[in-house]
């Protein structure tokens, strides 16, 4: 068992699970979506990106790309949240909330791709 691999897989899977946890719930209802979970999802996603960077293989490049997509979507979601609450002060209307959640849903897809790639690579190594 390689400790580095454990850390690597841990962060990638954690990024997916946190993202999923945030995404889960009614798309227009702010009560179903925890801001702490979004924060954690962003932090873990950033760490996963740094861990993935620097792998020269083709698979590594695709992994990095999915991670960058997830980062982008989550950060944009957070920016929308901050603008809605602090800049325009309209608060979390159902429209804003659904925009935030659909962005995080996109990030979720990217994270799922990432995990699928990770699993398929692992299976190939096993064989």
Partner 1 sequence: MPNIVFILIRRIRVPLILLIFVYAISILGFVLIPGQDDEGNLWYMDFFHAFYFVSFMGTTIGFGEIPYAFTEAQRMWALFSIYTTVIAWLYGIGSLLSLLQEPAFRALMTESSFKRALKRINEPFYLICGYGDTGSLLVRALAEAGIRSVVIDHNQNRINSLELEDILFVVPGLCADASVPESLLKAGLKHKNCIAVIALTNADNCNLKVAITTKLIRSELLTIARAETHEVEANIDSFGTELVINPFDTFAGRLSLALQSPSMYLLFQWMTSVPHEPLQEPTFTPKGKWILCGFGRFGKAVYQRLIDADINVTVIEAMPKETQAPTGVIVGVGTEAKTLMEADVLHAAGIVAATDDDADNLSILMTAKQLNKDLFVVARQNLKENDEIFDVADADLIMKRGSIIANKIFAIVTTPLLSQFFDLASKKSDKWANELVSRICGVVSNNAPSRWMLEIKTGDAPAVSLAIANNLQVPLGVFLRDPRNREDRLSCIPLMLNRGRESILLPKEDEILQKGDQLLFCGKSGMESNMNWIARNHNVFNYVLTGREHSSSLLTKLFGQSN
Residues that bind partner 1 (CB under 8 A): 35-36, 39, 43, 46-47, 50-51, 53-56, 78, 82, 85-86
Nearer residue to partner 1 within complex by CB, 54 or 127 = 54
User: Nearest approach, Cβ of 47 to partner 1 (angstroms)?
Assistant: 5
Nearest alpha-carbon partner for 105 in 127, 74, 66, 65: 74
Q: How far is the CB of 42 from partner 1 (least distance, A)?
A: 9
Helix H segments across 1-127? 3-23, 35-52, 58-82, 94-126
- Collapsing DSSP states into helix, strand and coil, what is residue 26? coil
∠ at Cα 69 (64, 71), nearest 5°? Answer: 95
- Least separation in angstroms between residue 123's CB and partner 1 is 25
Which CB, 25 or 60, lies closer to partner 1? Answer: 60
Which CB, 51 or 108, lies closer to partner 1?
51
CA–CA gap between residue 100 and residue 113 (Å, rounded): 20
Nearer to partner 1, 47 or 109 (CB): 47
Residue with tokens 């991670």: 67
Minimum distance of partner 1 from residue 61's CB (angstroms): 9
């Amino acid at each position: 068992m390689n400790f580095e691999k454990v850390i690597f897989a841990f962060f990638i899977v954690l990024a997916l699970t946190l993202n999923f946890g945030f995404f889960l719930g009614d798309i227009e209802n702010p009560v179903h979506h925890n801001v702490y979970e979004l924060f954690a999802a962003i932090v873990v996603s950033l760490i996963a990106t740094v861990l993935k960077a620097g792998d020269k293989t083709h698979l590594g490049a695709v992994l990095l790309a999915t991670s960058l997509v997830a980062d982008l979507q989550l950060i944009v979601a957070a920016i929308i949240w901050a603008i809605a609450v602090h800049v325009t002060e309209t608060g979390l209307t159902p429209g804003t909330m659904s925009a935030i959640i659909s962005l995080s849903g996109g990030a979720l897809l990217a994270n799922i791709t990432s995990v699928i790639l990770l699993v398929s690579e692992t299976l190939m190594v096993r064989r």
